[in-house]
């Protein structure tokens, strides 16, 4: 028979078992942390009507979307989790309780040009809080706590959450009489870190045609740094000149005020007036998160406050605040940088039972007992040399091998070898299980992300 060469599409991540176990840990931490903050899991279809997904339209989206016909239906794969959320909330609003807090971790699809580290199928992990008509700024204050907990639980230490408020920016540009230009200005200012202040000034006065006095004030404004208190104090000097600015400053002060109570240390949080987030629809607090030792990765968790989630589907005003982690790309980068802890177990089993008799009854009994104790157990079933069996355990990184020979069976015992230390102990099953469980707890203690 002629064969079809097996292959996986470029841009589609397909992991070997060991890294897949790391990915599972990653996703499990996200699920648990998001749930701790009272977000409910959602799971919407990966396929939707194309008109639903493309309601907003827009160039990149239309180009990148996977769209296809099936019968009469014009379908597409979702390209993010926000549009399906908007549809979900608009469709089910009558059955939901507001504020509606949901998380969703799922794959999305973008037919981008294939490129190293760019994925066409990738996981996003989103949380959003949606209000009905209004939503208190306290929700914006809580988001840094979710980000901080998430990355801390993943093991990451050196990161910082950067926060700004779009009302402050918009208000500031209104003060300068540049309201109409604020969008372009913000997109330019957003490049500060990449291209430097001089180049930003050049773009402002050149391409954008801003007069040089205003450009200077913009640069002075975005150069405000210091502790959160210092930045807030500096911003106070503009108070009273624009309502929106004042409101934004109040909101920012509220976010900063609750940080400590929400358990976010100042070391991991910075008000940063340069960030705006590209998307037009943010209207209040905006967030970015950077790894301090790897700024080149860019933001690993971003989001913000918006005023109208589902305007394409309903007249109901649904303000919200949300953040998103691009899981697949982050995982890929962590892997590339060697930042995934190699010491955490990635084996399919905790114990590999090696039967040394033809009859497997004792092995099955032991496996059933260990599984009942929560220990992931495999029986090595194939008739091969002991060396090959041990090689199997070794290659998979299974932490314990358990031998069941005639002597052990007769004595109702089992010999368990710690594959790392080589220590080998013969004991009853209960004692063995307790020892294995304690050993596993220690082995699983480490952080997933080093850095």
HEC assignment per residue over 346-411: CCCCCEEEEECCCCCHHHHHHHHHHHHCCCCEEECCCCCCHHHHHHHHHHHCCCEEEEECHHHHHH
**Strands 73-77 and 67-70, sheet pairing:** antiparallel
The per-type count for the chain, helices as H runs and strands as E runs, is: 17, 16
For 48, the enclosing helix (H) or strand (E) is strand 47-49
Q: How far is the CB of 294 from a copy of itself (least distance, A)?
A: 25
Q: How far is the CB of 186 from a copy of itself (least distance, A)?
A: 24
The nearer residue to a copy of itself, 14 or 296, going by C-beta atoms, is 14
Give yes or no for a contact between 405 and 356, defined as CB atoms under 8 angstroms apart: yes
The nearer residue to a copy of itself, 163 or 347, going by C-beta atoms, is 347
Q: How far is the CB of 190 from a copy of itself (least distance, A)?
A: 28
Can you tell me the distance from the alpha carbon of 105 to that of 107, in angstroms, rounded to the nearest whole number? Answer: 7
The nearer residue to a copy of itself, 8 or 237, going by C-beta atoms, is 8
The nearer residue to a copy of itself, 299 or 377, going by C-beta atoms, is 377
Distances (CA, A) of 8 to 54, 118, 121, 221: 28, 15, 12, 49
Give yes or no for a contact between 318 and 132, defined as CB atoms under 8 angstroms apart: yes
Q: At what angle do helices 212-222 and 182-189 cross, to 10 degrees?
A: 50
Residue whose structure tokens are 């710690």:
418
Q: How far is the CB of 178 from a copy of itself (least distance, A)?
A: 27
The nearer residue to a copy of itself, 10 or 420, going by C-beta atoms, is 10
- Residues 6+ positions from 95 with CB-CB distance below 8 Å: none
**Strands 413-418 and 424-428, sheet pairing:** antiparallel
The nearer residue to a copy of itself, 201 or 447, going by C-beta atoms, is 447
Q: How far is the CB of 4 from a copy of itself (least distance, A)?
A: 5
Q: How far is the CB of 189 from a copy of itself (least distance, A)?
A: 30
Q: How far is the CB of 127 from a copy of itself (least distance, A)?
A: 11
């Amino acid at each position: 028979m002629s064969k079809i060469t097996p292959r996986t599409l470029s841009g589609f991540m397909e992991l070997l078992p060991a890294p897949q176990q790391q990915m599972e840990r990653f996703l499990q931490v996200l699920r648990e942390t998001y749930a701790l903050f009272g977000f409910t899991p959602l799971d919407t279809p990966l396929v939707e009507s194309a008109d639903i997904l493309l309601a907003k339209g827009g160039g990149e989206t239309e180009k990148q979307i996977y769209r296809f016909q099936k019968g009469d239906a014009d379908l597409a794969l979702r390209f993010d989790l926000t549009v399906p959320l908007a549809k979900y909330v608009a469709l089910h609003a009558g059955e939901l309780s507001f504020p509606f807090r949901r998380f969703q971790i799922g794959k999305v699809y973008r037919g981008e040009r294939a490129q190293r580290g760019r994925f066409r199928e990738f996981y996003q992990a989103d949380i959003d809080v949606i209000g009905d008509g209004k939503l208190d700024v306290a929700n914006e204050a809580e988001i840094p706590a979710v980000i901080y907990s998430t990355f801390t639980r993943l093991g990451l230490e050196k990161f910082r959450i950067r926060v700004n408020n779009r009302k402050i920016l918009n208000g500031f540009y209104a003060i300068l009489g540049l309201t109409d230009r604020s969008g372009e200005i913000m997109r330019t200012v957003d490049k500060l870190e990449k291209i430097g202040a001089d180049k930003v000034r050049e773009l402002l006065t050149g391409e954008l045609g801003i007069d040089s006095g205003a450009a200077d004030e913009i640069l002075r404004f975005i150069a405000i740094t210091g502790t959160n208190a210092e930045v807030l104090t500096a911003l106070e000097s503009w108070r009273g000149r624009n309502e929106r600015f004042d409101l934004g400053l109040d909101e920012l002060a509220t976010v900063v005020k609750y940080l400590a109570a929400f358990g976010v240390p100042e070391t991991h949080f910075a008000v940063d007036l340069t960030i705006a987030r590209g998307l037009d629809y943010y209207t209040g607090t905006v967030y970015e998160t950077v790894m301090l030792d790897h700024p080149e990765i860019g933001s690993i968790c971003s989001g913000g406050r918006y005023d109208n989630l589902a305007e394409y589907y309903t007249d109901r005003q649904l303000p919200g605040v949300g953040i998103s982690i691009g899981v697949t790309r982050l995982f890929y980068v962590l892997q590339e940088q060697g930042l995934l802890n190699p010491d955490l177990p990635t084996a399919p089993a905790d114990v590999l039972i090696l039967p040394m008799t033809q009859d497997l009854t004792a092995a099955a009994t032991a496996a059933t007992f260990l599984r009942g104790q929560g220990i992931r157990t495999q029986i090595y079933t194939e008739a091969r040399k002991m060396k090959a069996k041990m090689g199997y355990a070794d290659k998979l990184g299974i932490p314990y091998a358990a031998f069941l020979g005639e002597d052990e069976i007769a004595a109702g015992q089992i010999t368990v070898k710690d594959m790392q230390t080589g220590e080998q102990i013969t004991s009853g099953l209960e004692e063995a299980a307790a020892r294995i469980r304690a050993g596993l707890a220690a082995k699983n203690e480490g952080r997933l992300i080093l850095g």
